[in-house]
Chains A and B, each alone.
Chain A
Amino acid sequence: PEAADLRALARHLYEAYLKYFPLTKAKARAILSGKTGEKVPFIIHDMKSLIEGEQFINCKQIPVLEHQKQMSAVAVGHGVSGIPAAHSGSDFGSLGSGIGGMTPDGVELRLFKSYQSRSAEAVREVTEFAKSIPGFIDLDLNDQVTLLKYGVIEVLIIMMSPLMNKDGTLISYGQIFMTREFFKSLRKPFCQMMEPKFEFGVKFNTLELDDSDMALFLAVIILSGDRPGLLNVKPIEQLQETVLHSLELQLKLNHPDSLQLFAKLLQKMTDLRQIVTDHVHLIELLKKTEVDMLLHPLLQEIIKDLY
């Protein structure tokens, strides 16, 4: 394909990405580096701040007064000004530790329920993005389902990376920052859910992709012709080939000094599959051990017989 066509494809996917994904990397990085002025996220780093902030998890708009009041309480109470940016090297990482024994029953299940409802919403966003990939909706409908079933968790893990730094992650559309130590303080096996995503995310962020690079990379992941059970692989591979060309060109133009970035990115696709396999096994374990846990029907559909 002509370079002009490949650039047009990159632009189209970037526009779709901006349309369907509410929190871009650009916005998340601005929040994480404290460049958003007075709008700072509420920090959840222990049970007390969780109790204060839990009602706002998954809120699209946290009430300003409440939010600011609580934010300053957290900031003053712990001598944290602003939020723990990746470069700050603050002692923030230790704030959430040592509370494992105090965890009230049910907190993990409530958090997991919130995580599920945001994930189901995110699956819808990814589906709309997939439908915007030229040629996707012309594929066999069963193959579209298979591509989403196998691709969507990989996409969601990639999309979490820009929201993370080594100390924690933004949630609730960037309005709450939940610390990595807090996740680690939850009871087993919930404490094991996020750590692999942090490890992946922190490494992934060193590649310094921007939102326009991400849009192409996500499309490449969705268009994987080797998913089990695909009926008609050829047209999927052809679509992926074009997006791969577009991604390669995009990276050359956008990151001229980053050596082997394209190859490094493709390598990440292999790492992702292992993370998804482990994630699915963890959810299956939860299904067996947590009698009170309800699994969202959409997530159930995706996870069932996946790996």
Chain B
Amino acid sequence: KEKHKILHQLLQNSTSPGDL
């Protein structure tokens, strides 16, 4: 899970471009 933290985040919420 830790290895793909941002992908997990993107899948679970709508991340705004600024957060990337």
Residues in A lying within 8 Å of B, measured CB to CB: 120-121, 123-124, 127-128, 131, 137, 141-142, 144-145, 148-149, 296-298, 301-302, 304
Contacts and interface: CB of A to CB of B under 8 A. Distances in A.
Contacts of B4: 145, 149, 301
Contacts of B14: 128
Secondary structure type dominating chain A contacts: helix
Contact of A124 (B1, B12, B20): B20
Contacts of B20: 120-121, 124, 296, 298
Contacts of A149: 4, 7
Interface string B1-12: 101111110111
Interface residues of B, number: 14
Given A120-B20, A121-B17, A121-B20, A127 B10 contact: yes
A128 B7 CA distance: 11
Contacts of A124: 10, 15, 17, 20
A88 B11 CA distance: 43
Nearest to A136: B11
Contacts of A123: 10
Interface of B: 1, 3-8, 10-12, 14-15, 17, 20
A274 to B, nearest CB: 24
Contact of A144 (B1, B3, B11, B15): B11
Contacts of B8: 141, 145
Contacts of A120: 20
Given A120-B20, A121-B17, A121-B20, A127 B11 contact: yes
A301 B7 contact: yes
A137 B14 CA distance: 13
A30 B8 CA distance: 36
Contacts of A145: 4, 7-8, 11
